[in-house]
Amino acid sequence: MVTVERVAGLVRGISPVVVDVLVVVVVGLLTGADAAVSYPGYEPAGPLTWVLLAVSLVALLGRRRWPVPVALTTGAACAGWALNGHVGELLNLPVIVALYTVAVQGDRRRTVVTAVVASALSGLVALTVGGRANPQGAPMLELVWPLVPLLLGEVVRTRAELLREYADRAERAEAEREAEAARRVRQERVRIARELHDIVAHTVTGMTVQAGLALDARESRPEVAAEAMRQVRASGRDAVRELRATLAVLREEPGSTAPTPRLADLDELVDRARADGLLVDLTREQAAGEGELPLVVELAAYRIVQEALTNVRRHSRARRVKVTVAGPPGRLLVEVADEGPERPPEHGARAAGFGLVGMRERAVAAGGELEHGPRPGGGFAVRAWLPVDGGRAATGPERGGAGG
């Protein structure tokens, strides 16, 4: 079935040279047939008529390359017919095609200038030859008809320019969307790479500490060595699980991947700690604005709470812990305080010390600071201040000490 789109595609596929030849053939047939007809009282077609027609048709072959000279040539030929006393209804067809080409391939300024000149010359010829130039008896047509092909060409050219502009805008918008998507992918991969670095550095260092502890205590305190190795195994399992999730994102593999933990996930973290036997009291102030915090701040706060609870569970005999997340303007306070006795010496001090170093590094990486120490009346507290506005967390007396 022949469709309009198919026909339009076939037409667009024709060479411009072939189109120009076809236009010249059609114009020549129509104009020649009209030139052969003589009106009563007017000069019949003679040698000059056919010479002027031949000049007009040859000129039309170059209308794309020289539109204005072609319009002048065909206009002069048409005026020559009128001045010679030979008139017809289609003798101005070569001029019409030439004027259309001037408008469709030029700009608005050239179209306006051409319209003024063409109308003036057409009117001048009409005045020179009098009523002989228009046997239909409508002299105003001699002033108006040159404007018709120019107006049509202007409309076609303007529409083509609009279509090109729309296409360019769509292309630029698509390029901007692709660039923005690529930028977001790069940012996400950088974030994932940093998280991967944190996972590896944190876990491997902890496993190294625990392995060294097990090596030192394997003969004198075998139960401590066994506990250290169990912690190495548990840390290794956690690290492998997190690494798999992170690498799946980096490889763009389908499937479920663990998202970056945020403060909204603290409830699940606290539930796991409670399942391990801790009595955890979680307090969060709505003013902290968790949904508006930078991702690095929420990640650092979550990891600090996670590590602090791990230290309490593994290295302290405390069973009651209070977790506080509050948000004064411009900063976020994260505090984990247990109410138990001091953690046992040797292995507890070493492992907990590593955890405190990791928490301090996370706080500093987010632009904040961390304090820790014994609490008055017993227990241990870890307190971090993280900036939420891109600056540094407040320091000095306005914060208070870790045991405040």
- pLDDT tens string 69-91: 988 888 888 888 777 777 777 77
CA 244 remoteness from chain centre: 30
The answer to whether the Cα torsion of 166, 168, 172, 174 is positive or negative is positive
| Amino acid, single-letter form, for residue 137 | G
CA distance 301 to 296: 9
- Tens-of-pLDDT digits for all 404 residues of the chain? 456 556 556 666 677 788 878 888 888 888 888 777 766 666 676 788 788 888 888 888 888 888 889 888 888 888 887 777 777 777 788 888 989 988 888 888 888 888 888 888 887 877 776 655 454 445 677 778 888 888 898 898 889 889 888 988 988 888 888 888 778 777 766 776 776 666 677 677 777 877 888 888 877 888 888 888 888 777 777 676 666 655 655 554 444 445 668 888 898 888 888 887 889 999 987 544 445 677 778 888 898 998 898 888 877 778 899 999 987 777 899 999 988 665 444 434 434 555 677 788 778 877 889 998 888 878 889 999 998 865 444 443 344 444 43
CA distances from 84 to 129, 133, 278 (A): 9, 10, 114
CA distance 78 to 70: 12
Query: How many other CB atoms are there within 10 angstroms of residue 64's CB atom?
Result: 15
150 contacts 100 by C-beta, under 8 angstroms? yes
